[in-house]
Amino acid sequence: MTTVVHLHTDVAAALAEGRAVVALESTLIAHGLPRPVNLATAHAAEDAVRAAGAVPATVAVLAGRPTVGLTPEQIERLASGDVRKASRRDLAAAVAQGATAATTVAATMALAHRAGVRVFATGGIGGVHPAVSHGLPTWDVSADLDELGRTPVAVVCAGAKNILDLGATLEVLETHGVPVVGYGTDDFPAFYVRSSGLPVSARVDSPDEAAALLAAHWSLGGAGVVIAQPLPEAVALDPSGFATAWRQAEELAREQSVRGAARTPFVLARLAELTDGRSLAANRELIVANAALAGRIAVALARGGRDADVRDR
């Protein structure tokens, strides 16, 4: 049996015509942001991709069917319903059991690649949990890192949260041969915080430069690429203040024994309270900004492909 990825008609038409398409993950809709901000942010991200001249393709598993490109009604279903959270390992179970699931970075990359979509926008990638690098008995390394090492999709993001061991995260990406490219920056961004203080492996300053790097990387047989842009300074959080608020939110989760899929929404909600809503505003801002940048890069990449076709003829 071959599992078929269903394409929205707009996405299928754009891919057939060689036009720009940007994949968007759905976990942030179902699990990453509170209602009603999640739905508004999902629509704003799709609008930002369209404004850049590309076609948005939000990804999910709907009643067991991997789907690239959702209708507004389907996005609303994810935002308002109790749905699974699916990483790469969970896709088969969701398909076989006819489940509806929001996809993480790793799962979205996998399905986008199967559909032929090369550019993907999200908030931030996962990474290496400090317990791993500190020798503690909790082994928590995000599947995003392995997926980046094997799947040729560009992930436009705001780096990774500074609660992770970002040095170890960058080392794992280097081991997997994944370029970590700063967009307009020499430093790796840390999600809510503009800079981690750690260097990226390359820098680009325009969509055309990013597209040229992607084309060269893939022509050499490379897989994933991280393109990281920092939050605008006006909405970025102070590093020390954010770290304090996050520790407090995590401690509340431990005290109340919040575990599993409920943990992330709980921690993010407490973080929003502890930062007077600034973390929520920053999260929404970076998701939409990354979608807009991904749209511009996808357009430049598609234009480069068309220009190459013309030269070849």
User: Taking the mean position of all CA atoms in its chain, how far away is CA 309?
Assistant: 30
- If one counts the domains in the chain, the total is 1
Give the residue from 88, 75, 95, 78 showing the smallest Cα distance to 4. 95
Residue 258 lies in a domain: no
Q: Return d(Cα 213, Cα 56) in angstroms, integer.
A: 22
Give the residue from 154, 192, 137, 201 showing the smallest Cα distance to 173. 201
Q: Return d(Cα 255, Cα 239) in angstroms, integer.
A: 24
Residues 6+ apart with CB under 8 A from 218: 118, 152
Catalytic-role residue among 25, 46, 147, 285: 25
- What is the chain's length? 313
- Give the three-class secondary structure for 181: strand
Along the 313 residues of the chain, how does pLDDT read in single tens digits?
678 999 999 999 999 999 999 999 999 999 888 889 999 999 999 999 999 999 999 999 999 999 999 999 999 999 987 899 999 999 999 999 999 999 999 999 999 999 999 999 999 999 998 765 555 556 678 999 999 999 999 999 999 987 789 999 999 999 999 999 999 999 999 999 999 999 999 999 999 999 999 999 999 999 999 999 999 888 999 888 888 898 898 889 889 988 765 676 788 788 889 999 999 999 999 999 999 999 999 999 999 865 544 344 4
Structural domain that includes position 232? 6-237+275-312
Residue 250 lies in a domain: no
Residue 267, pLDDT score: 80
Catalytic-role residue among 46, 85, 161, 285: 161
- Phi first, then psi, for residue 193 (nearest 5°) are -110, 140
Residue 249 lies in a domain: no
Decide: 169 and 119 in contact? Cβ < 8 Å.
no
147 is catalytic: no
The answer to whether the predicted template modeling score (pTM) of the entire model surpasses 0.85 is yes
DSSP code of 56? E
Residue 255 lies in a domain: no
Residue 36, preceding peptide bond in cis (omega within 30° of 0): yes
Q: Return d(Cα 220, Cα 91) in angstroms, integer.
A: 29
Residue 268 lies in a domain: no
User: Taking the mean position of all CA atoms in its chain, how far away is CA 39?
Assistant: 16
85 is catalytic: no
In Å, how far are 75, 122, 129, 140 from 81, measured between CA atoms?
10, 21, 29, 28
Residue 265 lies in a domain: no
Q: What is the CATH number of the domain that holds 22?
A: 3.40.1790.10
Give the residue from 13, 112, 96 showing the smallest Cα distance to 60. 112
| Tens digits of residue pLDDT in 32-63 | 888 899 999 999 999 999 999 999 999 999 99
Residue 245 lies in a domain: no
Look-up of token digits 């008995």: 137
| Tens digits of residue pLDDT in 183-204 | 999 999 999 999 999 999 999 9
Residue 312, pLDDT score: 43
Residue 186 lies in a domain: yes
